[in-house]
């Protein structure tokens, strides 16, 4: 998704740091008492997660992570920093031999699985191991220990992870923290800390923009750059991408989220470059930045090194799209909407959005998804989806509101009725998918989406112009950004300003299948999947410019099979 940044003047960050802190404290004071209690508990629990670092070189300074849980296995991750000069991307590391252990008990008295692994410079000293032979539907502790050399005996922080229930079993619930769009420079990651301690979260699902590729100050909102990221320049090479991942993974909130819950990830565009597609990206200039595919492959390599994901490198035939089963309760297909998609249309060719030959998924992934839907017998079919599927008609608005919406959604300033980077730009393929849902008789598909830095609850209509008469094909739940800019950041006004609210009302009026939009706040969405309903709970943070902010529940919606989404 493209966000114009030219209108942001870093010098406009006029309030002093102190006054910003005061303002944040005042805001926090007016949120509900239950919120503060909830936040205080979360903060206290979070402090247990990350004890003060001991002195000396820390081999496990980037923490631990787990991901891609199956019913008897889960992927474990760490980085073993071999010596103080072994900075991510520096290629200065040396091999570190490790032992990994998984145990159901905190004392690691009863080891459920263990083995040896080596962190090697070829993988930027990151390690991924597949811990197999575990019990289904079970929470575990895991850790790594250095077994040789100067730092022998150093042990990682203890991570928490879990396996999925086996098929044939219908668990009572699955809690997913739906997250996307975390921009280091835009502020702090309180949302990650909240999901790390939220007892309702079993799995963290990141649907893209885990990081941003820009240079320092290249993408900020009304508060300017709250903190600087590394490296200072736009990331293009393998070393650059590794450096940025490594820097993000020094954030204590992000570390806590990885340490305490297993993740399921897919990427969007910013893991490579803005508005990427199969052969290029809006933010890639081959004249000055070299071959796009080489850049993309470097970005993918770093992604696969730094995230707990099972995919193998694309050069070896790897694919990021994949499927998980959470017992018989949910089948979850994680899609890759960037690697195979056709180049976006020129805005002047908007009439071609119905072109049958244009694809977001690529034919292989489309067939894969169709096969999954054909054979699924799960209660719910969930789709991890990086850009919005729901049709969104942008209505005529006053110039100021129109400008803000255009900037948020990456539309040309002169205005256009569709966001061509989303599924709206691939309308023929979307129709094909809606047709498949009907052909297979599926009334249990829910898209879990990010990208748009705002919160949406949508019915996906069979035919947008004839909703609800023609029926509801599926539902889409869109989580807001962890902290990347949305409308109040763009227009440089307080949250819940007139422009944001006017835009929300106008969009809902023009799109009756869109039940709720909130354009201002940051946070995430807890998606609670149960056999008879899915509850979506949007949790917001008051002020992203201050660390360790509590989150509060802002809105709840309920999905009932075949009946769409409505307020809960």
In angstroms, give the least distance from the CB of 184 to Fe ion: 13
In angstroms, give the least distance from the CB of 484 to Fe ion: 5
Cis peptide before 205 (omega within 30 of 0): no
Instruction: Specify the residue, 484 or 514, whose C-beta has the smaller distance to Fe ion.
Output: 484
Token pair 């942008």: residue: 394
Tokens of 509: 């009026």
Instruction: Specify the residue, 60 or 214, whose C-beta has the smaller distance to Fe ion.
Output: 214
Helix (H, G, I), strand (E, B) or coil at 510: helix
Question: Is there a contact between 362 and 429 (Cβ–Cβ < 8 Å)?
Answer: no
Residues at the interface with Fe ion (CB under 5 A): 181, 209, 484
Instruction: Specify the residue, 131 or 478, whose C-beta has the smaller distance to Fe ion.
Output: 478
Instruction: Specify the residue, 522 or 539, whose C-beta has the smaller distance to Fe ion.
Output: 522
In angstroms, give the least distance from the CB of 181 to Fe ion: 3
Euclidean distance between the first and final Cα of the chain, in Å? 30
Instruction: Specify the residue, 143 or 270, whose C-beta has the smaller distance to Fe ion.
Output: 270
Other CB atoms within 10 A of residue 240 CB: 20
In angstroms, give the least distance from the CB of 450 to Fe ion: 7
In angstroms, give the least distance from the CB of 256 to Fe ion: 22
Q: Which of 567, 563, 564 has the alpha carbon at shortest distance from 554?
A: 567
Helix (H, G, I), strand (E, B) or coil at 436: helix
Which helix (H) or strand (E) is 62 found in, with range?
A: none
Query: Burial level of 29, CB count in 10 A (0-12/13-18/19+)?
Result: exposed
In angstroms, give the least distance from the CB of 269 to Fe ion: 8
Query: Burial level of 286, CB count in 10 A (0-12/13-18/19+)?
Result: exposed
Q: Which of 160, 156, 154, 173 has the alpha carbon at shortest distance from 74?
A: 160
| Residues in a beta bridge with 381 | 331, 445
- Find the farthest-apart pair of alpha carbons in the chain and give their distance in angstroms, rounded: 70
Instruction: Specify the residue, 74 or 181, whose C-beta has the smaller distance to Fe ion.
Output: 181
Question: Is there a contact between 132 and 124 (Cβ–Cβ < 8 Å)?
Answer: no
Instruction: Specify the residue, 181 or 361, whose C-beta has the smaller distance to Fe ion.
Output: 181
Instruction: Specify the residue, 209 or 407, whose C-beta has the smaller distance to Fe ion.
Output: 209
In angstroms, give the least distance from the CB of 268 to Fe ion: 6
**CA-CA distance, 557 to 568, in Å (whole number)?**
5
In angstroms, give the least distance from the CB of 485 to Fe ion: 9
Q: Is 299 left (phi over 0), alpha (psi -120 to 50) or beta?
A: alpha
């Amino acid at each position: 998704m493209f966000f114009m940044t030219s209108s942001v003047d870093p010098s406009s960050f006029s309030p002093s740091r102190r006054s910003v802190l005061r303002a944040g404290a005042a805001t926090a004071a007016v949120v509900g008492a239950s919120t503060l209690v909830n936040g205080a508990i979360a903060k206290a629990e979070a402090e247990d997660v990350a004890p003060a670092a001991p002195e000396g070189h820390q081999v496990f300074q980037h923490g631990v992570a787990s991901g891609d849980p199956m019913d008897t296995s889960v992927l474990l991750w760490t980085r073993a920093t071999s010596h103080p000069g072994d900075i991510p991307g520096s290629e200065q590391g040396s091999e570190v031999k490790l032992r990994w252990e998984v145990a159901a008990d905190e004392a690691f008295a009863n080891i459920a699985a263990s083995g040896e692994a080596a962190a090697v410079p070829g993988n930027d000293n990151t390690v991924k191991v597949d811990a197999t032979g575990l019990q289904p539907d079970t929470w575990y502790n895991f850790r790594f220990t250095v077994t040789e050399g100067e730092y022998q005996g150093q042990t990682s922080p203890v991570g928490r992870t879990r396996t999925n229930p086996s098929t044939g079993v219908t668990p009572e619930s699955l809690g997913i923290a739906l997250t996307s769009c975390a921009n280091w420079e835009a502020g702090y990651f309180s949302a990650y800390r909240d999901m790390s301690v939220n007892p309702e979260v079993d799995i963290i699902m990141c649907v893209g923009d885990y990081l941003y590729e820009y240079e320092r100050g290249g993408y900020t909102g009304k508060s300017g750059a709250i903190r600087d990221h590394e490296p200072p320049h736009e990331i293009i090479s393998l070393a650059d991408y590794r450096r940025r991942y490594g820097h993000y993974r020094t954030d204590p909130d992000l570390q806590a989220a990885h340490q305490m819950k297993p993740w399921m990830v897919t990427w969007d565009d910013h893991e490579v470059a803005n508005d990427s597609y199969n052969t290029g990206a809006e933010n890639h200039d081959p004249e000055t930045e070299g071959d796009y595919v080489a850049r993309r492959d470097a970005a993918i390599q770093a992604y696969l090194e730094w995230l707990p994901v099972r995919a193998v490198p694309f050069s070896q035939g790897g694919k990021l799209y994949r499927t998980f089963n959470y017992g018989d309760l949910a089948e979850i297909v994680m899609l890759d909407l960037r690697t195979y998609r056709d180049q976006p249309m020129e805005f002047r060719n908007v009439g071609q959005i119905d072109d049958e030959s244009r694809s977001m998924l690529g034919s292989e992934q489309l067939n894969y998804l169709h096969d999954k839907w054909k054979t699924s017998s799960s209660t719910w079919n969930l789709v991890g989806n990086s850009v919005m599927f729901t049709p969104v008609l942008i209505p005529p608005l006053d110039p100021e509101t129109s400008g803000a919406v255009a900037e948020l959604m990456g539309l040309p300033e002169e205005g256009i009725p569709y966001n061509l980077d989303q599924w709206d730009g691939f309308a023929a393929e979307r129709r094909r998918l809606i047709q498949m849902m009907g052909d297979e008789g599926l009334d249990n598909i829910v898209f879990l989406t990010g990208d748009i830095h705002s919160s949406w609850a949508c019915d996906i209509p069979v035919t947008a112009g004839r909703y609800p008469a023609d029926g509801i094909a599926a539902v889409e739940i869109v989580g807001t950004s962890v902290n990347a800019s949305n409308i109040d950041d763009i227009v440089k006004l307080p949250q819940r300003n007139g422009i944001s609210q006017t835009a929300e009302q106008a969009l809902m009026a023009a799109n009756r299948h869109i039940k709720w939009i909130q354009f201002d706040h940051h946070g995430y969405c807890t998606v609670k999947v149960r056999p008879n309903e899915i509850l979506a709970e949007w949790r917001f943070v008051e002020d992203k410019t201050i660390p360790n902010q509590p989150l509060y529940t802002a809105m709840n919606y309920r999905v009932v099979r075949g009946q769409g989404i409505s307020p809960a």
